[in-house]
Amino acid sequence: MVAVEASGAARGDQLLANLPDDVRLAIFAQTDLRSAARAGVASYAFHGFFLEARAAPRVVARFLMSASDASPGNVLRRIYDPTHLLQTDEDHYQLAIELEQLGVRLVPPARQMVVQPPRWLDAAAKRGHTRVLELGLDRGSPPAHAARALCLATEHGHPAAVRMLLERGPPADIRSLLASACHAEGDAAGVVVALLESRTGAEGSHWGGLQLAGRSELVQRVLSTGVFADSPERRRPVVAWCLGQHDGPACCLQWAVGQGDEATACEALAAGVGDISALGSLLERGVAGGSVAVVGQLLEAGIVRSGAQLDAAVLKACGLADAATAAQMVALLFSAGADSGHAVLGSVDSKVAALSAAARHGGVTVLHQVLENINDWPLDTLVDAALSAAKITSWPVVECLLPFMQRQPGLSPDADLLNAAAAGGVGAVPLPALLQAAACARVSPGAKVVAVALAVRRNFAARVDALMALAGWVGLMDRFIADGPNTPMRAWLRQVLIDACAVGGGGGATDAGRVLMRHLAGVDNTSGTSAMHVVLTRLCGDGDDEASVRRVLELLGGAWQHMPQSCRMHATWTVLNRLQHRECAACLPATRIAIKGRAAPSAAKRAARSRLALFKCNTAKPTLLQPAWA
């Protein structure tokens, strides 16, 4: 049985092979995929010939025309139908020619033209089939359809098709096409180059019709977006093309400097950018980019033309976020100034701006470099920088400025006070000299606050005590901590008071902090605006847990012995009033009496306040603990 079937299949293959080509093609054209599969079971030759025929444009054309719904519109839509095996541009071009010979009009007359382009034209643009697109243009495809095909060819990255459509199609919006090309799926670089080279009228190419600023902006936009942003390999052809154009090296250099691309910057400088000193703003831009190597290349190429240019670059370097890069950049710029003979930071304004930028960003290394490279620093500038750094508790910056302020004694009361307050231990400034500097009428209130803060930070308790004993200093510090500007310095001093009241001297408590707390706790102010009262109130609002309440009561307990009687009563009432509605508060008779008796208190109620117990957070069974300081 098997032998009979095999012999029958062999005879069928032989008959198929002996048929004329036209007859065989007609059979193949009339055979669908399902019939071919059934026939292939009996004849391997038929199956092979069928697949071969599906890849022949002539057979595919007859197959499309023989379909039951073979209207002109359906036939055109099936030029790129997946049922046949045509792949290349040439195959589809031959298919279109065969259909045209069979009477199909590829482009309908204008009166029958629909708004939507034929699918075959869109498919050809997506695949980059240039010959098929040319055939559509030759047969009268309208400008709108050609413009749509150009957009599709651009989005799918087909440079050859884009070039042909730009040459033969209607005028195009190159800028919008460039934006699409930056996100193209295929050869994005080739499409970008094709668009840049496209002719836009009498002025020549699109690139040639732009000025230097427009070309630079174009390069920036292309190389910094889409597929080129993070892929040096994909933007390489675009860069290479630009380097060969007029103004191209300068445009590439501007982009490379902003991006910190050392390789592209080197290539652009080697290609020749003309008078590089005319691109003076590039130096500041390169510093902002953060590439020391690129800035070094610009300096070697002779970009520096004035001290003001170096001043702007130094200011930009002082503000860099990375301290190490900022330090390297500042050192490089000062070295370039020395080599070129241009004075760096020659004006007072530039000195102030550079010092402020370095102090504000906390770069001690950068700040020290700036200070060491300039010999004639105005003392007022140094003092202002120190006070500004102290406001944001940038203590390393203040410590860096103090030695330079000490080089000019007797010229600034504020500088003398800060130096005297910070100079303790071995070689300390004597206390009389400190008091003399503090008593000067020209000392600013801000310098007084910073002087106390410096003495507290260095734990010079004797100096804090001496300063706070001066007339008006307690009130000044009290007002600053209670009602001063909301700065990190104010928050830091408040924390010093909290730490100074810690039980057992734990936390960050220091002797100098306790001295400051002792002076401020004695302020007889029951209006609710004293420093200790403000800190106490702030702690009362921090939280409901036991740790928060403990911190409140530790502060009250630590300052208790230094408070006048009226301040004790007021502070006690503040604590009770703030905590009475919390779950951790114990609503016991003594508590109620103390809270309700705030108006016209009797002697008994005063005594109850002064003997008030600490709260313990115990939701199961609220209790009172008698404090040692009550």
Rounded to whole angstroms, the Cα distance separating 592 from 347 reads 68
Mean of pLDDT over the chain = 75
Torsions phi, psi of 158, nearest 5?
A: -120, 90
pLDDT of residue 54: 66
Give residue-wise pLDDT tens across range 20-40: 555 555 665 656 555 655 555
Q: Enumerate residues 6+ apart whose C-beta is below 8 A from 447.
A: 383, 387, 413, 414, 417, 418
pLDDT of 156 higher than 90: yes
Choice between 35 and 550, residue whose per-residue pLDDT is larger: 550
Helix, strand or coil, per DSSP, at residue 614: strand
Q: Give the single-character DSSP code of 207.
A: T
Choice between 186 and 59, residue whose per-residue pLDDT is larger: 186
pLDDT of 604 higher than 80: no
Pair 241, 193: CB distance under 8 Å: yes
DSSP count for the chain of H helices, then E strands: 37, 2
> The tokens of 626 are what?
């008698």
Give me the amino acid identity at 485: P
Select, from the ranges 69-83, 451-465, 496-510, the one with the highest average predicted confidence (pLDDT).
Answer: 451-465
> The tokens of 343 are what?
């004075």
Q: What is the pTM of this model?
A: 0.63
pLDDT of residue 37: 53
Angle (CA) 577-579-585 rounded to 5° is 125
Torsions phi, psi of 466, nearest 5?
A: -65, -40
Rounded to whole angstroms, the Cα distance separating 90 from 96 reads 10
pLDDT of residue 152: 93
